[in-house]
Amino acid sequence: MSNFSTETVSLKSLILNIDSPFLAVPSSSDDFPAKIYTKVTATVRDIHGNPLSGKKIFVSSDSRASLEEIIIYDSDHTTEIKLQSGGDYEGFLVKTDQNGNILFFIHPIKSEGLKLKLFSQILGTTNTVAANYTIYIIGNTLQEILEKYPEPEIFNSSGINLISHGESKFSVEIPDYDSPKVGDSILFFVNDKYTKYSINITDESDSGGSLKLPYAIFEENVVSYFSYIVIREAGEIAQYKSNPLTLIYKGNSENKPWNDVDRIYDTCKVYSSGDTLIDEYDVVNDATIAESNPSNAGLFVRITGTNDPNDSSKVFFGSEVKLNLYINSSTRKITHTFTGTMPIHPDDAGGNTATLLISIDHNYLNNDMGYESGENGSIFFDYQVGDDTDIDVAYGGIWQGGIDTDPYA
């Protein structure tokens, strides 16, 4: 029985992060168990964001048979973790370290197809939390599979160039392939690397169906080969893979924050070099960024975090935050991402909020001129927790203003 109640544990922190959810095992390999594996991690916290050390977490699967087809190693990548029973479940136990971290490794035992969905829970409770990705193990390398299925189709796209007009995602459809079956999983690849996105077929008449995928799965301004494979419900791979769609992602033509994402967090606050609050839609000029300060910053951005589990409008303590800057002016366009970690302690003793301060260097702000028409340039900030390719990425509101930092204006 657990020595702490589930009310004190953040169930979101129990989500297991699968580092490499697609493992291709060469059919002729003899040493694959040592070289082919995925790392699995989590940081278990209480509902206030504090890491929980020394806690036993029970990991199970949707099938005991699946667990018997893998080898699990502890964080040292040497000690094997054995399967055991946990009430009505079969699985294995892992223990958090002093920082609340879980780390273990999964290796395939043989070159055969397998679908593995992991769940984690605190023993003595009925709450199970699904891992972020299903693990797919196939008994071939991608190079061993023949190309036959039609290439994926991207809606509203023509020619080789793929361009976002402010949207974070594009729509892709899978044409008919051989004998689609309920339970099929269609996995998407870019340059033979699994994107971690898939479609599950629920109706044979729907064939491959369609899905929205983030543009960020493609590297900008390089040739990409976009393809898919089909995994049957039992885990075996279909005989063929698709022909690749050749494309070049040209980026976001709007050079501003995405226009199609849910923004659950409060908008950041922007301050001058002299630490004076700048209202949204105000103009950042040369005087705004000119005062000296110890950080040699032209602007400061503050993002508020919380340890209150009931406040979903703020980033949680300890979160890794990415602050995005966009500038459009007559002299240049800038897109840059700054990173920071939300503090784990409140600003005031006994309080519930903390502040992440990010300095914006003059290099990004100097000589961003307005236009000959008299119109100012534009500047935007937004922030996010997670990458654009993450399924659970969350965004903050958009701060926007004008900019003209011509020192002679």
For residue 166, give the DSSP letter: S
Q: Please check whether residue 303 is in contact with residue 342, taking contact to mean a CB–CB distance below 8 angstroms.
A: yes
The pLDDT of residue 26: 82
Q: Do 99 and 27 belong to one domain? A: yes
Residue 241 burial by CB count (10 A; 0-12/13-18/19+): exposed, middle or buried?
Answer: buried
The pLDDT of residue 310: 92
The pLDDT of residue 2: 45
Q: Do 15 and 102 belong to one domain? A: yes
Query: Does 409 score more than 70 pLDDT?
Result: no
Q: Do 16 and 130 belong to one domain? A: yes
CB within 8 Å of 244: residues ≥ 6 apart: 147, 151, 225, 226, 227
Higher pLDDT: 126 or 187? It is: 187
Q: Do 126 and 164 belong to one domain? A: no
Domain C-terminal end among 204, 222, 252? 252
Q: Which pLDDT tens digit goes with each residue over 258-305? A: 999 999 999 999 999 999 999 999 999 999 999 999 999 999 999 999
Query: Does 196 score more than 70 pLDDT?
Result: yes
Q: Do 164 and 31 belong to one domain? A: no
Q: Do 323 and 375 belong to one domain? A: yes
Q: Which of 355, 359, 357, 339 minimizes the C-alpha distance to 307?
A: 355
The pLDDT of residue 30: 60
Tell me the whole-structure pTM to 2 decimals: 0.91
Read off the CATH number of the domain in which 122 is found: 2.60.40.10
Domain C-terminal end among 138, 155, 180? 138
Q: Do 183 and 65 belong to one domain? A: no
Q: Do 213 and 229 belong to one domain? A: yes
Residue 194 burial by CB count (10 A; 0-12/13-18/19+): exposed, middle or buried?
Answer: buried
Q: Do 237 and 335 belong to one domain? A: no
Q: Which pLDDT tens digit goes with each residue over 62-94? A: 877 789 899 999 999 999 999 997 566 789 999
Average pLDDT, the chain: 92
- Overall average pLDDT of the 207-212 stretch: 75
pLDDT-based confidence at residue 35 (cuts at 50, 70, 90): confident
Q: Please check whether residue 327 is in contact with residue 334, taking contact to mean a CB–CB distance below 8 angstroms.
A: yes
The pLDDT of residue 1: 40
Q: How far apart are CA 365 and CA 72, in angstroms?
A: 51
Q: Do 279 and 246 belong to one domain? A: no
From residue 182, alpha-carbon distances to 231, 243, 370, 378, 394 in Å are: 11, 22, 57, 49, 31
Q: Do 389 and 318 belong to one domain? A: yes
Of the candidate ranges 64-68, 142-146, 323-327, the one whose mean pLDDT is the lowest: 64-68
Counted domains in the chain: 3
Query: Does 7 score more than 60 pLDDT?
Result: no
- Overall average pLDDT of the 26-37 stretch: 72
Q: Do 273 and 393 belong to one domain? A: yes
Q: What residues make up the domain containing 235?
A: 145-252
Of the candidate ranges 106-120, 155-169, 202-216, 307-321, the one whose mean pLDDT is the lowest: 202-216
Residue 257 lies in a domain: no
The pLDDT of residue 188: 97
Domain C-terminal end among 227, 252, 277? 252
Read off the CATH number of the domain in which 269 is found: 3.90.280
